[in-house]
Amino acid sequence: MPALILIVTGLLCAFQVSAVTEEALIKNLKSRIHDLPKNQGSLIKSFDNHTQSYIYDQALAVIAFSKSGDKFNATKLMKGLKALQMSDGSLYFSYYMNGVSPYPIEGDRRIAGAIAWVAMAATHYQHQFKTDEFKIFNLKILHYLKNQMTEVKIKGIKTKAVRFAPHDIASTPFNENDVIALEHNLDAFSAFTHYGKINKTDDWQKSADDLKSFILQMWDKRNYHFWSGAMVKDGVVAKSELYLDNQTWSLLALDNNELKEISTEKALRLNCEEFFVKKDGISGFMDSKPSNRPSQHSFIWSEGTLGQILAMKKVSQLHSKEILCNNMKAEDFLQSIKKMKKNDGGIAYATPNDNPDFTTGSSVAGTAWLYFALGNINPFQLN
């Protein structure tokens, strides 16, 4: 009898994993949509155990709906973002489901990267549905991001890059206005580049070139990885931490010609050496670690792992050979992350951990990124 129970349990687990399809993931995203008052569009609930919609998650859902051909729900979310946009083109980092934000009461949290993702989503929407409905909305965001660019001198080379945020946020241990994050500039680089491509305009090329210069300056040729950013006032590069998504998002955002300037296989190998985690029968990657010592945390981050999977697929195509990570293929990791499915059909943001920023709840980010990975969709590119 115990052996039979084990066999049945195994079959049930296998059925659960195989049931994670692109259609099921889109269905979960639809179930999270909440309409704003006065017919002002909709927001998507980021986590099943939180009460807010983060604009990054809103953007991910717009891209997922656009790629799936679901114009109805993509439009509802775009209308929601448009209703919340401020006069200078910016948006706050998150909103409650009624459209009210905890900011600026809790600080002027207008994070450049999240805002750039909204611009990326608007460009995907325009490209997919061949409509200019949100083109002016997108242009206002791009102008805001351009206004947030500041000159920085790194190793004697001058360029411009986007600040983390327009003002310092008192609740954090650093001054956001004096920090330039690589991650945010990858987002803005994609936003400028692809808006220009689909609208056949060179207006944003200079900004994109400046950001590309900054991005490539973050590449460490000796250690084969990207550093996380730099300080505005003195150009000092931040070297205390390594971040998974700095490596993967760089590989996804840069095109094949730009990637010739870095060692793509070695960049992926560093991720395998520094971020790989195997826990509770799931193989994946954690978010970050100190650059000079082991991490005190060990958990699997679904969103980041799925970015690694897409980066492995892209680099495999680039080199015309399968890239392995600890003897695992991208497809092996993809099947592993499916095990993080929650009861509602969404994907957990992380496996159990003691970091308050990484909930185990069902998440838009995990769900949308799994949709991307299943379809080999790179959200940093239009095709």
Q: Are residues 127 and 272 in the same domain?
A: no
Is it the case that residue 100 has pLDDT exceeding 80? yes
- Tokens 């439009």 belong to which residue? 75
Q: Give residue for tokens 């300056």.
A: 217
Per-residue pLDDT at 158 exceeds 70: yes
Q: How many CB atoms lie within 10 A of CB 229?
A: 23
Cα angle value 134/65/356 (rounded, 5°): 100
The mean pLDDT of the chain is: 93
pLDDT at residue 15 in the model: 35
pLDDT of residue 169: 94
Residue 319 lies in a domain: yes
- Give the distance from CA 24 to its chain's centroid: 21
pLDDT at 290: 94
What pLDDT is stored for residue 243 in this prediction? Answer: 96
Q: Provide the pLDDT for residue 13.
A: 43
Which 8-state DSSP code applies to residue 69?
Answer: T
Segment (H or E) for 107: none
Residue 119 and residue 173 share a domain: yes
Amino acid identity of residue 125, one-letter, is Y
Q: Which of 239, 274, 292 is the last residue of a domain?
A: 239
Query: Would you say 63 and 368 are in contact if contact means Cβ atoms under 8 Å apart?
Result: yes
Listed residue (121, 113, 117) closest to 76, CA to CA: 121
Phi, psi angle pair for 371, to nearest 5°: -60, -45
Co-location of 164 and 64 in the same domain: yes
* CATH code assigned at 216: 1.50.10.20
Mean pLDDT calculated for residue range 144-173: 95
Same domain, residue pair 276 and 178: no
pLDDT of residue 223: 94
Asked whether the beta carbons of 340 and 328 are under 8 A apart, the reply is no
Residue 207 sits in the same domain as residue 279? no
Residue 14 has pLDDT above 80, yes or no: no
150 strand-pairing partners:
161
Between 54 and 357, residue with greater pLDDT: 54
pLDDT above 60: residue 5: no
Confidence of residue 296 (pLDDT cuts 50, 70, 90): confident
pLDDT exceeds 70 at position 22: yes
- Residue 123 maps to a domain: yes
- Over residues 196-221, the mean pLDDT reads 96
Residue 373 lies in a domain: yes
Q: Quickly list DSSP for 152-184.
A: EEETTEEEEEE-S-SS--TTSSS-GGGEEEHHH
Q: Is residue 250 part of a domain?
A: no
Give how far the C-alpha of residue 312 lies from the chain's centroid of Cα atoms, to the nearest Å: 16
Same structural domain for residues 142 and 215?
Answer: yes
Q: Tens digit of pLDDT for each residue in 315-343?
A: 999 999 999 999 999 999 999 999 999 99
**Residue pair 122/141 in contact by the 8 Å Cβ criterion:** yes
317 belongs to a structural domain: yes
Tell the burial category of 294 from Cβ atoms under 10 Å away from its Cβ (0-12, 13-18, 19+): exposed
Does the pLDDT value for residue 383 go beyond 90?
no
DSSP, collapsed to helix, strand or coil, labels residue 368 as helix
Count of beta carbons in the 10 Å neighbourhood of residue 14: 10
Q: Both tokens of residue 379? A: 């959200």
Q: Any residues with CB less than 8 A from the CB of 368 and at least 6 apart, and which?
A: 25, 29, 57, 60, 61, 63, 64
Among 12-21, 23-32, 51-60, 307-316, the minimum mean pLDDT is found in 12-21
Q: What does the pLDDT average to over 186-206?
A: 97
Do both 208 and 319 map to the same domain? no
Whether residue 7 is predicted with pLDDT greater than 90 in this model: the reply is no
Neighbour-count burial of 40, counting CB atoms closer than 10 A to its CB (0-12 exposed, 13-18 middle, 19+ buried):
middle
User: At residue 68, what are phi and psi to the nearest 5 degrees?
Assistant: -85, -5
Report pLDDT for 19: 82
Tell me: pLDDT of 368 over 60: yes
Is 247 inside a domain boundary?
Answer: no
Task: Quote the domain boundaries for residue 380.
Answer: 1-31+266-383
CA distance 272 to 270: 5
1 and 59 in a single domain? The answer is: no
pLDDT at 297: 80
Q: Which of 232, 328, 226, 233 is nearest to 277 (CA)?
A: 328
Whether residue 254 is contained in a domain is answered as: no
Same domain, yes or no, for 203 and 305?
A: no
* pLDDT tens for each residue of 131-152: 999 999 999 999 999 999 999 9
Question: Are residues 251 and 263 in contact, defined by beta-carbon separation less than 8 angstroms?
Answer: no
Q: Do 225 and 333 fall within a single domain?
A: no
* Predicted local confidence at residue 18, as pLDDT: 46
How many domains does the chain divide into?
2
Same domain, 108 and 71: yes
What's the predicted TM-score (pTM) here? 0.94
**Are 217 and 284 part of one and the same domain?**
no
For residue 244, is it within any domain? no
Catalogue the long-range contacts made by 5-14 (C-beta closer than 8 Å, 24 or more residues apart). Answer: 13/339
CA nearest 268: which of 227, 298, 312, 217? 312
Q: Give the confidence band of 155 by pLDDT, cuts at 50, 70, 90.
A: confident
Query: In this predicted structure, what is the pLDDT of residue 295?
Result: 84
> Which of 190 and 383 is assigned the larger pLDDT?
190
- pLDDT tens per residue, range 259-280: 988 999 999 999 999 999 999 8
